[in-house]
């Protein structure tokens, strides 16, 4: 589970956090809100929609 505490510890250690395999829009949004460095998914078109809907690159 990626939590704010986990992310703070990773950042303090200089470690990036990439999460896999995220296939639900709500979880993609939650992790994006937390500030993870990367997401991997079996549903790339959904991930692209979520990112684009949050003002990120659409392509």
Can you give the residue range of the structural domain that contains 8? 4-53
- At 11 the pLDDT is 96
Residue 41 lies in a domain: yes
How far, in Å, CA of 48 to CA of 54, rounded? 10
Residue 59 lies in a domain: no
- At 44 the pLDDT is 96
Residue 36 lies in a domain: yes
* Residues 46, 56 contacting (CB under 8 angstroms): no
State how far Cα 42 lies from the chain centre. 14
Q: How confident is the model at residue 24 (pLDDT cuts 50, 70, 90)?
A: very high
Looking at the structure of the chain, the number of domains it has is: 1
Q: How confident is the model at residue 59 (pLDDT cuts 50, 70, 90)?
A: low
* Residues 36, 17 contacting (CB under 8 angstroms): yes
How far, in Å, CA of 46 to CA of 10, rounded? 27
- Span 27-56, mean pLDDT? 94
- Span 32-39, mean pLDDT? 95
Residue 58 lies in a domain: no
């Amino acid at each position: 589970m990626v939590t704010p505490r986990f992310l703070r510890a990773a950042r303090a250690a200089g470690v990036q956090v990439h999460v896999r395999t995220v296939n639900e829009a709500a979880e993609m949004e939650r992790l994006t809100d937390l500030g993870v460095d990367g997401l991997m998914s079996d549903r790339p078109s959904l991930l692209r929609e979520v990112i684009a809907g949050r003002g990120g690159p659409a392509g």
